[in-house]
Amino acid sequence: MKQQTTQPMTEPVYTRAPYWQDVPDAKWMDWRWQMSNRLNTAVELEKVINLTDSERDALNANNLFRVDITPYFASLIDPDDPNCPVRKQVIPTAREMVPFQSMMEDSLAEDKHSPVPGLVHRYPDRVLMLITTQCASYCRYCTRSRIVGDPTQTFSRKEFDAQIEYIENTPQIRDVLLSGGDPMVLAPKQLDMILGRLRAIPHVEIIRIGSRVPVFLPMRVNAEFCDTVQKYHPFWLNIHVNHPKEITPELAAAMDRLTRAGVPVGNQSVLLAGVNDSVHIQRKLVHDLVKIRVRPYYLYQCDLVEGSGHFRTPVSKGIEIIEGLRGHTSGYAVPTYVVDAPGGGGKIPVMPNYVLTQAPGKVVLRNFEGFITTYAEPTDYDPHEIEAQDKLIARRPEPGQEGLLKLLDGEQMYIEPQGFSDVRARGGAEHRLRSGDIAQKWQPLGVGAIEQEQETKALEAPKEE
């Protein structure tokens, strides 16, 4: 059998615009050269791309979210097509400056939910750690544009130490996600140091990076990078590709090196109007991703962030895309479509409805083709049979974040909004029906039994006094 190799291994095929044709290959493939030769003004961009008036206006405006484009990524842009999907992601237009209803500076309330600067601890067992504000190029719709691109917002050594200290002191954290900005633009030694500090924390099980560097700067995924991350396994990486045009021989070769180093790679895309809001573009994207061994992970609804108004789509577009993927193609190729909750609730998965209706013993479901079937449920299912095995597994506490699981576990009967009972009391005075020691009145029998049991035990325990 003939082994297939990716193109760059046999004869180099470089993604390079004519403007850079005289740059020696060694320089072109050097990530530091790419970083120091980025384009960031209308004058520079005009040497490679025919700018529209709207683009030129935006590039010359004040207070614009930072612009920087690596020569490699700029080479993917169609110089004559203002609708080029690569171009729209990195070159601003005047539309970027138009405010829209509901937009926010920090729409995911990340800064509000950070116990120390740059560390977002939103979910029970994992944290998002922002370690830089710099990126290889800047996406116009960036959800973190409030800090990203601004060197004055970069995290200090003291803040980094505080982040590490928080993780060390919080044993419930088993997964650390490094982001920014982009952790892969850091000096290699610095990244090595950060990964080493995290790996030394016994309760940190997995370390991952979210990075767009492999897409903007595939040269950075060199042997040295692969050697570094291999030292800290289990190490995972998510890249960020939005359109099939971004999948080049260079990216394929980078993913080949990385997966050979044992790094599982996923992809996070953002649903962007005029870039990838199409079932057919998304199908090609996910197919091209699995071909380079990258697993589509999330498809994000565009956040309510300043500058992204013209990129937003209705949520129904995302549902339509999942409708066009699930069942139609490999399960491996289907990402989870999520809305990151404005206000900081975290990622909320959204998908088409597959459960049509239910009755005791029956669930009526439909498939991707509209075929309707009935799943007959067991009539003799014993949920207690597993209990002995279940008790052998150590519990991972999720203080305050048990959510609906607490209701299902029978530990709690309901969840009420803050002030719920006060509103219902309508300011009335204490009266005979709700005064004194009558909380028992609202205690459902057998609910919260675990806590009650523990309380009873505590009361019964002989006191040494």
The catalytic residues are 122-123, 126, 135, 139, 142, 144, 303, 340, 347
Q: Which is nearer to ligand PLP, 72 or 160 (by Cβ)? A: 160
When asked if residue 129 is in the footprint of ligand SF4 (CB under 6 A), the reply is: no
**Position among 88, 122, 240, 312 found at the interface with ligand PLP (CB under 6 A):** 122
When asked if residue 304 is in the footprint of ligand PLP (CB under 6 A), the reply is: no
CA neighbor of 374 nearest in space, from 385, 360, 391: 360
DSSP structure class, residue 19: G
Q: Which is nearer to ligand SF4, 128 or 292 (by Cβ)? A: 128
Task: From the list ligand PLP, ligand SF4, none, pick the one residue 181 interacts with, judged by a Cβ distance below 5 to 8 Å according to partner type.
Answer: ligand SF4
CA neighbor of 32 nearest in space, from 65, 71, 66, 67: 71
- Encoded one letter per residue, x for contact with ligand SF4 by CB under 6 A and - for no contact, window 78-117 reads ----------------------------------------
- Encoded one letter per residue, x for contact with ligand PLP by CB under 6 A and - for no contact, window 154-193 reads -----------------------x----------------
Neighbouring CB atoms inside 10 A of 354's CB total 12
Position of minimal CB gap to ligand PLP = 128
3-state secondary structure of 17: coil
The b-or-e profile of 95-115 (16+ CB within 10 A means b, else e) is: ebbeeeeebeebbbbbbebbe
Q: Please, are residues 323 and 283 in contact by the beta-carbon 8 Å criterion?
A: no
Nearest approach, Cβ of residue 298 and ligand PLP (Å): 7
- Cα gap 75→90, rounded to integer Å: 12
Expressed in angstroms, the distance from the first to the final Cα of the chain is 80
CA neighbor of 447 nearest in space, from 414, 413, 408: 413
Task: From the list ligand PLP, ligand SF4, none, pick the one residue 173 interacts with, judged by a Cβ distance below 5 to 8 Å according to partner type.
Answer: none
Task: From the list ligand PLP, ligand SF4, none, pick the one residue 31 interacts with, judged by a Cβ distance below 5 to 8 Å according to partner type.
Answer: none
- Cα gap 318→339, rounded to integer Å: 10
**Position among 148, 261, 263, 334 found at the interface with ligand SF4 (CB under 6 A):** 148
Tokens of 64: 């614009």
Q: Binding segment for ligand PLP among 5-13, 120-128, 195-203, 256-264 (CB under 6 A)? A: 120-128
When asked if residue 144 is in the footprint of ligand SF4 (CB under 6 A), the reply is: yes
Q: Please, are residues 182 and 142 in contact by the beta-carbon 8 Å criterion?
A: no
**In this structure, which amino acid lies at residue 112?**
K
When asked if residue 237 is in the footprint of ligand SF4 (CB under 6 A), the reply is: no
Contacting residues toward ligand SF4, per CB under 6 A: 135, 138-139, 142, 144, 148, 180-182, 212
